[in-house]
Amino acid sequence: MHPRVKPVIEKRREMSRSGHIDWAYAELLAFGSLAEQGALVRLAGQDSRRGTFTQRHSVLIDRKTGDEYNPLAEVAANSGEGGRFMVYDSALTEFAGLGFEYGYSVGNPEALVLWEAQFGDFVNGAQPIIDEFISSGEAKWGQLSDVVMLLPHGHEGQGPDHTSGRIERWLQLCAEGSMTVAVPSTPASYFHLLRRHHLDGIRRPLVVFTPKSMLRNKAAVSNVEDFTQGKFRSLLEEIPFEDGSADRSKVTRVLLTSGKIYWELLAKKQKEGRDDIAIVRVEQLYPVPRRRIAETLDKYPNANEFFWVQEEPANQGAWPFLGLALPELLPDHLSGVKRVSRRAMSAPSSGSSKVHAVEQQEILDKAFER
């Protein structure tokens, strides 16, 4: 294999034993474990075999002969359960690509079918497929689909066209349990989300806003036990609160958030030594996990300030949906929830990396101001 790829594979072998499993390896563990159990797993997208961010390397290529090796396909074949793992690089034509994968998921309801956008923004090119089929096919025709859409999303200072998978658009289309929309914050959470989606017997599309910088965030890793135990949880608290080492009674402010900004909020909290703030991650935006939110907030008896913190502009991201839904669904808990975000903007983000950095810092400062 290529000398730049070999260390990645060797690191994965080490991670499988010592932990600190990253996002890309967790994803392959989900695909491989399902294929080994007999599932047909199909992934297609723009540069999906290697990964847009050079992170996946699901197919290894002999740099001298051009021969290809698909490790997970071998795992599936050797298990004897009849599973398959197929991964394809598709053309830059989102309308046709997502349309085909949607049709494949309808035609083969037993398969786990995933389509990946090179950047989340690029799914805009498939909007007719989303509006006419994915979001409303069941309501219009009783046509069920389990198709998964992987949309790289996050404010990284790369400009408006490489930032947003348009969370607000997806949530606006959600009703009657029509789709699942998730923003996992850890590799293990993503692993369990994919496995749950295929195994739970509920046939509805899944939208996953996947990370970019978090792919290599050394804090955003999971232990081996996080995979071999547990299940997908729609809400996650900070580890010190979950293991009982932090005092919940000291918390007066709760920050609800999702996605990569959690790690930035956590770093700031740890740097400032704040024990009066708790950060709660909403891993599943729809269906809204209102019971889990209520149960979690009840654990902080002295909390009297509640904020939704997002890096997206005020008119985008989850806030336009949750800002209305949370006070309505949880009037006793979140009737006074406030927003911390960028200002309302016509584009998903600034075109300047310097402006992006200033705006990002303002969000963090606002969330922690006394």
Same fold, 6-216 and 234-368: yes
The pLDDT of residue 214 is: 95
- Residues, the chain, total? 370
pTM for this structure? 0.97
Q: How confident is the model at residue 308 (pLDDT cuts 50, 70, 90)?
A: very high
* Helix axes 23-36 and 71-79, enclosed angle (nearest 10): 30
What is the percent of the chain where pLDDT is above 70? 100
Bridge-based pairing state of the strands 284-286 and 180-182: antiparallel
- pLDDT per position as a tens digit, 32-80: 999 999 999 999 999 999 999 999 999 999 999 999 999 999 999 999 9
What are 5-14's pLDDT values in tens digits? 999 999 999 9
Q: What is the mean pLDDT of residues 133-137?
A: 97
**What pLDDT is recorded for position 145?**
98
At 270 the pLDDT is: 97
pLDDT for residue 254: 98
Q: Looking at residue 274, what is its pLDDT?
A: 97
Average pLDDT score, the chain: 97
Output Rg (C-alpha) for the chain, integer angstroms. 20
**Is 234-368 in CATH node 3.40.50.11610?**
yes
Position 173 scores a pLDDT of 97
Mean pLDDT of 279-287: 98
Instruction: List the structure tokens of 200.
Output: 């739970």
**Contact between 220 and 184 (Cβ < 8 Å):** no
pLDDT in tens, 322-332: 999 999 999 99
Fold for the domain defined by 6-216:
Rossmann fold (3.40.50)
- pLDDT tens digits, residue range 214-240? 999 999 999 999 999 999 999 999 999
**What percent of the chain stands above pLDDT 90?**
99
Residue 110 has what pLDDT? Answer: 95
**In this predicted structure, what is the pLDDT of residue 275?**
97
- Express each pLDDT in 113-130 by its tens digit: 999 999 999 999 999 999
Q: For the residues 281-295, what does the mean pLDDT come to?
A: 98
pLDDT at res. 200: 96
Interval 229-275: pLDDT, tens: 999 999 999 999 999 999 999 999 999 999 999 999 999 999 999 99
- Domain definitions of the chain by residue range: 6-216, 234-368
Q: Give the per-residue pLDDT at 15.
A: 96
